Amino acid sequence: MTALSVNVNKFALIRNARGADLPNLHNISKKCIEFGADGITVHPRPDERHAKFSDLEILKNLTSEFENIEFNIEGYPSNDFIQKVIRVKPDQVTLVPDPPDALTSSFGWDCEKNKDFLTEVIKKFKDNNIRVSIFINPSINTLSNLEIINPDRVELYTYDYAKNYHNDKILAIAPYVEVTKYLEKEFPYIEFNAGHDLNLGNLDFMLKNIPRIKEVSIGHALVCDAIDYGLKETVNRYKQIAQR
Ligand code: PXP
């Protein structure tokens, strides 16, 4: 079974559009949990255009009220981000390499170039009992030094899979299967997450091919689906796929 973490960034974006508190992120996240989500994810960026750093403590308190509900914070590990995340102590931090002004995360870490940086940063989070996942491309070439960097998990960046799914899903999944097979063999203690552009159409095939995925974090498509089906039905549909 794979955990479904709902990325509530897009709800925060709507809230911020009017500079007020509608929808309220705590309430919408609580509903996601009550409707079946196993976790809540946010990606506070330096410009706070979606989730704000002031949301973190509120969401941490919310998720702590429930048993087995996780809070995951994504972001580039600047000094400021590290400090703020360690203060809040989420269950998991997902480190992404994208620059502050990026529209969305669009590539994984190069573990060769970032070996020392990642090793140091990951240690800081782990010393504070925060599980660390790093965002990776489906490419073995970028995954050197994992034994030194020592993340608990890697999050597969699934944009390419989603983009190519409709042309040829077997071809689309192939690099992900290859990379997870490599990781299973070389680093059996590293667990997998997955995220980006996963949706009701492509999620099932991803999880059938890589059933070891522990968690998917899904935001954009889920919020779009909620317009059609309502939030309860939407979370339920994703959850059913993740549970299969
Ligand atoms: N994982 C990471 C690292 C992300 O940056 C995002 C987008 O915030 C997601 C997963 C979720 O992607 P989507 O919104 O396309 O579901």
Q: What is the pLDDT of residues 113-137, one digit of tens each?
A: 999 999 999 999 999 999 999 999 9
Q: Is the CB of 96 under 6 A from ligand 1?
A: yes
For the question of residue 43 being annotated catalytic, the response is yes
The answer to whether the CB of 94 is under 6 A from ligand 1 is yes
Q: Of all atoms in ligand 1, which is nearest to the CA of residue 50?
A: 8
Say if residue 196's pLDDT is above 90: yes
Tokens 């506070």 appear where?
A: 44
For residue 25, the SS3 value is helix
| pLDDT bracket for residue 80 (50, 70, 90) | very high
At 135 the pLDDT is 98
**Tens of pLDDT, residues 133-167:** 999 999 999 999 999 999 999 999 999 999 999 99
**What residues does 71 pair with on adjacent strands?**
40
Q: Give burial (CB, 10 Å; 0-12/13-18/19+) of 101.
A: exposed
Question: How many whole angstroms from 6 Cα to the centroid of ligand 1?
Answer: 10
Q: How far apart are CA 65 and CA 47, in angstroms?
A: 29
Answer whether 137 contacts ligand 1 (Cβ < 6 A).
no
CA of 106 to the centre of ligand 1 (A): 9
191 near 212, Cβ under 8 Å? yes
Q: Is 50 a catalytic residue?
A: no
The C-alpha atoms of residue 59 and residue 161 are separated, in whole angstroms, by 30
Determine which one of 50, 70, 155, 196 is catalytic: 196
Of the candidate ranges 52-56, 102-106, 181-185, the one whose mean pLDDT is the lowest: 102-106
CA distance 143 to 220: 27
Report field, pTM of the whole predicted structure over 0.95: yes
Is the CB of 74 within 6 Å of ligand 1?
A: yes
